[in-house]
């Protein structure tokens, strides 16, 4: 089983693309809605929440976990990956994030080595995208912008409102005038505004769907790691869990997944 972990609904934009690309596998989704959003949390808190989520998913039988949340991937993932290598019964299981695949793809896309990054305050402050981009290509100039208003606007379904477009334009103005040719959407919620991002940035700027990149990279990863692939069950089973109210999750989640979710289970991850 493949586990997908996120602070709430946003990781479903990644799961949506994983299911499209790799439909045969069983997936277990965990949204920590009771404690979302993660975007402004401290490092210590994020680490504790993520460890609890990961323990839950491994405990349910996941062999591979994707931390779909950019905030988690950028702040605590590396530390957690290292720690779990020392845990006897899960050391052969894998935890993957979203930053690396997105960065690897961006380096291939950019022609003028000028890249924009948007994300939560915490992801932008961590400079993870910048560090990883420079690791692969030190000549890349990175223009970052925290967009803290976008997650609540997406969750409130204000996607089509003129106010959201105005806010988006304001956030994107400095990045656009920096003449970037590629924009990284460094937050799980932003693919719901993909059309708006693309319209505002204009035709000459590539704005890839991050979920698609993560899915393509997982296809490649599984080809390179048959020892993991053979452990994954293939029954096309999808299980959705949340730490908050399952009924509310089911109602709101379909917008992120692009299809109706019939059944959601409550997960107790704090123990
Ligand atoms: N999932 C988070 C991310 O990708 C956005 C929502 C939150 O702040 O919890 O950074």
User: Does the structure show a pLDDT above 90 at 205?
Assistant: yes
Give the pLDDT score at 187.
97
The HSE-up count of residue 55 (CA atoms within 13 Å, CB side) is 12
Q: Which of 237, 240, 232, 244 is nearest to 260 (CA)?
A: 240
Rg of the chain, C-alpha, whole Å? 18
Instruction: Please work out, in degrees rounded to the nearest 5, the angle formed at the alpha carbon of residue 150 by the alpha carbons of 156 and 200.
Output: 115
What's the rounded mean pLDDT across residues 6-17?
Answer: 97
Q: Which of 162, 156, 150, 161 is nearest to 190 (CA)?
A: 150
What's the rounded mean pLDDT across residues 208-223?
Answer: 98
Catalytic residue, from 2, 98, 118, 187: name it.
187
User: Does the structure show a pLDDT above 90 at 62?
Assistant: yes
Percent of the chain with pLDDT over 70: 100
Give the pLDDT score at 90.
79
From ligand 1's centre to the CA of 195, what distance in Å?
Answer: 19
Ligand 1 and 151: CB distance under 6 A: yes
Binned at pLDDT 50, 70 and 90, residue 1 comes out as very high
Atom of ligand 1 nearest to the CA of 120: 10
Mean per-residue pLDDT over the chain, rounded:
96
More confident residue, 66 or 86: 66
From ligand 1's centre to the CA of 161, what distance in Å?
Answer: 21
What's the rounded mean pLDDT across residues 39-61?
Answer: 94
147 is catalytic: no
Q: CB of 190 within 8 A of CB of 150? A: yes
Ligand 1 and 123: CB distance under 6 A: yes
From ligand 1's centre to the CA of 166, what distance in Å?
Answer: 21
Binned at pLDDT 50, 70 and 90, residue 89 comes out as confident
Q: List CB contacts of 140: < 8 A, sequence separation 6 or more.
A: 107, 110, 113, 114, 115, 133, 134
Tracing tokens 């975007």 back to the chain, one arrives at: 39
From ligand 1's centre to the CA of 76, what distance in Å?
Answer: 13
Cα separation, 194 vs 185, in Å, equals: 9
Ligand 1 and 36: CB distance under 6 A: yes
What's the rounded mean pLDDT across residues 31-44?
Answer: 93
Catalytic residue, from 2, 30, 66, 69: name it.
69
Atom of ligand 1 nearest to the CA of 6: 1
| Number of residues in the chain | 271
The predicted-structure confidence for 155-174, as pLDDT tens digits, reads as follows: 999 999 999 999 999 999 99
Give the pLDDT score at 85.
86
From ligand 1's centre to the CA of 230, what distance in Å?
Answer: 31
- 0.75 cut: is pTM over it? yes
Ligand 1 and 126: CB distance under 6 A: no
Give the DSSP letter of residue 181: S
69 is catalytic: yes
Ligand 1 and 10: CB distance under 6 A: yes
What's the rounded mean pLDDT across residues 64-87?
Answer: 94
Q: Which of 129, 123, 183, 121 is nearest to 146 (CA)?
A: 121
Q: Which of 118, 117, 126 is nearest to 43 (CA)?
A: 126
Q: How far is CA 245 from CA 33, 45, 214, in A?
A: 8, 22, 28
């Amino acid at each position: 089983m493949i586990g997908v972990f996120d602070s709430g609904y946003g990781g479903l934009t990644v799961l949506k693309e994983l299911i499209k690309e790799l439909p045969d596998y069983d997936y277990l989704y965990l949204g920590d809605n009771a404690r979302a959003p993660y975007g402004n949390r401290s490092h210590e808190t994020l680490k504790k929440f993520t460890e609890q989520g990961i323990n839950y998913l491994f405990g349910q039988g996941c062999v591979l976990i994707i931390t779909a949340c950019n905030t988690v991937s950028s702040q605590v993932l590396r530390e957690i990956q290292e720690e779990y290598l020392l845990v006897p019964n899960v050391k052969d299981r894998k935890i993957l994030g979203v930053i690396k695949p997105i960065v690897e793809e961006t380096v291939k896309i950019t022609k003028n080595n000028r890249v924009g990054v948007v994300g939560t305050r915490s992801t932008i402050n961590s400079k993870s995208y910048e560090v990883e981009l420079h690791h692969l290509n030190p000549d890349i100039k990175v223009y970052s912008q925290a967009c803290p208003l976008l997650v609540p606007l997406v969750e409130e379904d204000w996607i089509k409102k003129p106010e959201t477009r105005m806010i988006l334009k304001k956030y994107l103005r400095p990045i656009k005038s920096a003449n970037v040719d590629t924009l990284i959407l460094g937050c799980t919620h932003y693919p719901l505004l993909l059309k708006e991002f693309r319209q505002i940035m204009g035709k000459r700027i590539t704005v890839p769907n991050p979920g698609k990149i993560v899915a393509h990279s997982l296809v490649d990863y599984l080809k390179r790691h048959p020892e993991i692939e053979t452990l994954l069950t293939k029954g096309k089973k999808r299980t959705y869990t949340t730490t908050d109210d399952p009924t509310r999750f089911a109602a709101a989640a379909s917008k992120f997944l692009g299809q109706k979710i019939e059944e959601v289970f409550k997960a107790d991850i704090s123990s």
